[in-house]
Amino acid sequence: MTTNLSRRHFLQAMSFLAANAMVFPLSAQQSRNRGKPDPLEYPETYVPQGPLKQSSARFIVNQFGLEKAMILCKHLGLCGIDLLDPSEWRTVRENGLTVTMGRVPGHGGIPKGFNRCENHDLLFEVYSKWIPVAAEQKVPNLICFSGNRNGISAEEGLENCVTGFKRIAPVAEKHGVTLCMELLNGFDHKDYQADKTSWAAEICRKAGSERIKLLYDIYHMQRSEGELINNINTYHDVIAHYHTAGNPGRKDIDETQEIYYPAVVQAILKTGFTGYLAHEFSPKDGMNSLRRAVQICDVQI
């Protein structure tokens, strides 16, 4: 039985690779290894039926490498990969997928964000450099952060963020790229300021730009404040992107955790959302976990 199962998976993988040979050209190493079994186990193919555009965060790249990650994404009906660096953007685009959220180097990381005016010059320089590149490579969103409080009040942090975002917004608007400030919980990211949807949403509304929005991480906001569906309904106008993960544990979004994702996703779709939802969890069962997540979020409205 084990032999037959392995042979079936191998044949599925080879059939899929052959069908995509023109999309994913063989590297020199792959050419040398032509004919040798690929150790990558492919889950059963899934073709989404619902309207939601789903992608995978970069754990899939970290685990398998970029070439295999792209093949797996197409195998699972995903439209792209999240949180990739600029060096990876062109490759993903040329292989028919979307970098659904880009990362940019040199901004100082999560603790050093827009909530402190002394960071604004650096942030303006970094994002001004990479926004045009993102536009060229069809990367619709770039991640950014509020930064840690470090003693700054909610009111001061909010106004500082508004000032910083108003400065960079014209660059983002010119190139059609959206900056998405991520919402994070204060347990995993102690002292991070954008840990409440209402606070972050007010920044976006005061910034007054369609290119300054939120990355609503469902796992983080469940830990931080709950009220997922109510907050999605209230603040959907400033949410451009979603992340998933199960709580507790940031694992699979299955029946073992407390978030019922079919209802959450249905609420997202009912707001008229047309952006991307990216799966950002540590899978318990490799690509089978990711396939189940795609299926769970493939709902109709």
CATH (domain of 205): 3.20.20.150
b/e map 247-267, b = 16+ CB within 10 Å? beebbbbeeebebebeebbbb
301, part of any domain: no
Q: Are residues 61 and 101 in the same domain?
A: yes
The whole-number mean pLDDT for each consecutive block of 10 residues of the chain, a chain of 301 residues, reads: 38 40 36 41 84 96 94 95 98 98 96 98 98 98 98 98 98 98 96 98 98 98 97 98 97 95 98 98 92 96 85
pLDDT the model gives residue 254: 94
Q: Are residues 38 and 52 in the same domain?
A: no
pLDDT the model gives residue 126: 98
- Lookup result for tokens 């931080």: 224
Q: Are residues 10 and 103 in the same domain?
A: no
Please answer whether residues 253 and 278 qualify as being in contact, where contact means their C-beta atoms are separated by less than 8 angstroms: no
Tokens of 74: 């197409």
Q: Are residues 26 and 152 in the same domain?
A: no
pLDDT the model gives residue 44: 79
Q: Are residues 65 and 170 in the same domain?
A: yes
Q: Are residues 74 and 21 in the same domain?
A: no
Q: How many domains does the chain have?
A: 2
Domain housing 141: 48-296
The single-letter DSSP state of residue 118 is G
pLDDT the model gives residue 40: 56
The single-letter DSSP state of residue 63 is H
Q: Are residues 95 and 122 in the same domain?
A: yes
Q: Are residues 148 and 286 in the same domain?
A: yes
pTM, two decimal places? 0.86
